[in-house]
Amino acid sequence: MTGTRRPAAPLATTDPAQGQDRVQRPVVGVVLLTMNDRPEEERASQATLLAQRGVEMRICVVGNGCTPDVVPAGALTVVLPENLGIPGGRNEGARALAELDLPPDYLFFLDNDASFPGPNVLARLVAEAGQHPEAGYVQPRLTGPDDTTTPRRWVPRLRAGDPGRPGTVTSMTEGVVLVRRTVFDQVGGWCAGLFLYHEGFDISYRIWARGFTGWYAAGLRMHHPLSSPSRHALFHRLAARNRVWVAYRNLPAPLIPVYLAVWTAATAVRAIRGGGARESWRGFREGWAGRHDQDRRPISWRTAWRLTAAGRPPVL
């Protein structure tokens, strides 16, 4: 679905450089989604975005089923007539940025309540990408507003005891990630059908299948409110459904039952502690029933080995 697009004035940039020096700076397209449900957080987040230095920014605000109320001066806007979900909305923003006269070198996907703690974070992420050309995506360490607390689910590797340790990773935290635009285009963007949850696992599998890796720049921090998605009943259903779809879309056939068995056991244990068993079972059944509607492109056994060697076998 393509929504209504509103062209920018000149497109947003906060870098005062002019002439040839300006052209040579890396261009980063920033995609922000909104449903106009947290305007104060959005204003605060955008203020830290506009304070970034050292890169050229092209900002696109996507209204997921709405016309955005909070938009930086000069930003491109996309108005979608209905909520396409997070991955679908982000795809529309990336598509709009790719159609500009000067498409971005990188895409940065930013949650509308996440913030940059300093003015050089985006430039340093781009620098990390330059130091790791094998990485299709680079992401910072995400913390709470205290700049210290990092929940386990925000660390993109299995060994999450030390969230400050950088390295190659095989999954991602989707709301604060820098992706090379050419790589994003090669893998076809986010899987819109997932709607919400686990789209990072899906796209990272496909990025690794193209021969790239992921890089966790743990020395760079970004902030996000500390909240748990499991407080919502919808989380349990969609997370279970999407686990099935991610497995069916990406894994070699012999690994699918192993992956689903591992995650079913993990979900059962979590349900004992935090509930959600009924909704999880409902989501699993929905995922299994709809698996054949997914675009199946299984990774090779070589990619499965690379993922395992990088610290996360593709059954976990």
pLDDT digits (tens, 9 = 90+) for 6-23: 655 444 444 444 444 444
**Average confidence score pLDDT of the chain:** 92
Question: What mean pLDDT comes out for the span 77-102?
Answer: 96
- Contact between 150 and 218 under an 8 Å Cβ cutoff? The reply is no
pLDDT band at 57 (very low <50, low <70, confident <90, very high): very high
Question: What mean pLDDT comes out for the span 41-46?
Answer: 97
- Contact between 113 and 41 under an 8 Å Cβ cutoff? The reply is yes
Is the pLDDT at 139 greater than 70? The verdict is yes
Strands of the chain (E only): list them.
4-6, 27-34, 56-64, 76-80, 106-110, 135-143, 167-169, 176-180, 213-223
8: amino acid identity, one letter:
A
Architecture of domain 4-223: Alpha-Beta Complex (3.90)
Question: How crowded is residue 315: how many other Cβ atoms within 10 Å of its Cβ?
Answer: 18
pLDDT band at 275 (very low <50, low <70, confident <90, very high): confident
Question: What mean pLDDT comes out for the span 83-95?
Answer: 98
CA distances from 147 to 110, 144, 167, 226 (A): 17, 6, 20, 11
Q: What is d(CA 171, CA 307) in angstroms, rounded to the nearest whole number?
A: 10
Given its phi and psi angles, is residue 65 left (phi above 0), alpha (psi -120 to 50 degrees) or beta? left
Question: What mean pLDDT comes out for the span 144-152?
Answer: 95
pLDDT band at 227 (very low <50, low <70, confident <90, very high): confident
CA distances from 164 to 48, 69, 152, 313 (A): 22, 36, 12, 22
* Domain boundary assignment for the chain: 4-223, 230-296
pLDDT band at 260 (very low <50, low <70, confident <90, very high): very high
3-state secondary structure of 252: coil
Q: What is d(CA 222, CA 184) in angstroms, rounded to the nearest whole number?
A: 22
pLDDT digits (tens, 9 = 90+) for 176-191: 999 999 999 999 999 9
The pTM score is 0.92
